[in-house]
Structure 1
Amino acid sequence: MGTSTEPGTVRLERLLPGPIERVWAYLTESDKRATWFASGAFDLRVGGKADLHFDHSNISSEKTPDEYKSKKSDWSETITRVEPPRLLSYTFGPAGPESEVTFELEPRGRDVLLVITHRRVVDRKTMVNVAGGWDAHVGILADRLNGVQPRPFWTTHAKLKGEYEARL
């Protein structure tokens, strides 16, 4: 589970099967990222665009709950830091106008430690949703990298959201 390291910030750590280049590809390549998070082209340079297109039917067989059906599923963000294959940061407008997410990768033997830090989240309600979302998405990433059937996204997200509601 993620933790709140300071107001408006959530941090999540997960040990994933490596090597680091493979995990980096799942963060940066549209076709691989689409299997656990969102597709879209990334111009991997500071100031480059990071297009995100969410289609949860690609990552889970569950139907999208009504509360999320009306939410925007396509947006363009700006890359703020990139150090292949160890660090990627970009803006994340849905969580607040100044919001930014950072992915850090660190080799740990045959595995890779993924640290996601999402900063400047606009309010507590959004923080709970963001934390539950990242946790659920990263769970699916772990399943993909481990070669197992991915867990159901929306059921997992709802459970995690409830847990984050109680702890953040």
Structure 2
Amino acid sequence: MGQMLAVIQKGKSGYVARFERQMNHPVEKVWAMLTENEKLALWFSELRVENLCEGGTMAFDMRDGTFGKFPITDFQDQSVLAYTWGEDHVRFELHDAANGCRLVLAETIQKINDHTAKDLAGWHVCLNVIEALLDGRTVDSRQDDWKNWYKKYVAAVKEAAR
């Protein structure tokens, strides 16, 4: 799989990490992975859609009996889903393309910290898993995949923060 690291750039307020993937599946199928809870659970078990609309909410299971509420800041059906992520912000965009669609995930990061590389490696692996699920492939070990990408993101984040 020829996967590119996210491009991390310093922006006006903090940093933006941008992932881009060509998916060999139509927008509707990829959109369902991002927005339907039973499909979301397959690649991000803590995350749920509470109400899918601008001003709606994503819920994050903190695994301690509480749920973080992440307001949906931008929503266009089959095209854009954006929500706050703690102090940060994530935005998924789907664009029609030959043989499927292009998925863009941009995470706006206020401050680079020890968690940044972990989170970015996490999103990277999530996108790998979405792709594998849609392709009907099994993912052998998310943990091994994550460790491999984590090392690369540690270096990339260090470079971006210079």
Match of 1:40 in 2: 48
Q: Which residue identity is paired with 2:156?
A: R
Establish whether residue 28 from structure 1 lines up as the match of residue 42 from structure 2.
no
Q: Using the alignment, how far apart are the partners of 1:146 and 1:73 within structure 2?
A: 34
Q: Using the alignment, how far apart are the partners of 1:130 and 1:121 within structure 2?
A: 13
- Shifted more, 45-54 versus 26-35: the winner is 45-54
Match of 2:160 in 1: none
In structure 1, stretches of 5+ residues that fail to align are: 56-70
Q: Which residue identity is paired with 1:104?
A: E
Normalising by structure 2, report the TM-score. Answer: 0.83
Identity of aligned pairs, percent? Answer: 24
SS at match of 1:150: coil
Q: How does 1:69-108 map to 2 (within 5 A)?
A: 74-93=67-86, 97=87, 99-108=88-97
Aligned length in residues? 149
**Deviation digits for residues 119-165 of structure 1 (CA, Å, limit 9, x no counterpart):** 03432422211210100111011100100112411111111111111
Of the three residues 2, 19, 23, the one matched with 1:16 is: 23
Q: Using the alignment, how far apart are the partners of 2:59 and 2:126 within structure 1?
A: 17
Q: How does 1:114-129 map to 2 (within 5 A)?
A: 114-129=103-118
Q: How does 1:130-145 map to 2 (within 5 A)?
A: 130-145=119-134
Q: Using the alignment, how far apart are the partners of 2:107 and 2:91 within structure 1?
A: 6
Alpha-carbon distance change, 136 to 73 in structure 1, aligned in 2, over 3 angstroms = farther
Establish whether residue 4 from structure 1 lines up as the match of residue 11 from structure 2.
no
Q: Using the alignment, how far apart are the partners of 1:2 and 1:151 within structure 2?
A: 22
**Deviation digits for residues 21-70 of structure 1 (CA, Å, limit 9, x no counterpart):** 11101000010011112342331222111113388xxxxxxxxxxxxxxx
Larger relative strand fraction: 2
Question: How far did 1:74 drift?
Answer: 4.3
Q: Which residue identity is paired with 1:148?
A: R
SS at match of 2:20: strand
In structure 2, stretches of 5+ residues that fail to align are: 158-162
Q: Using the alignment, how far apart are the partners of 2:155 and 2:68 within structure 1?
A: 30
Contact 1:102 1:117 in 2 (8 A): yes
Q: Using the alignment, how far apart are the partners of 2:15 and 2:129 within structure 1?
A: 25
Structural RMSD (CA): 2.1
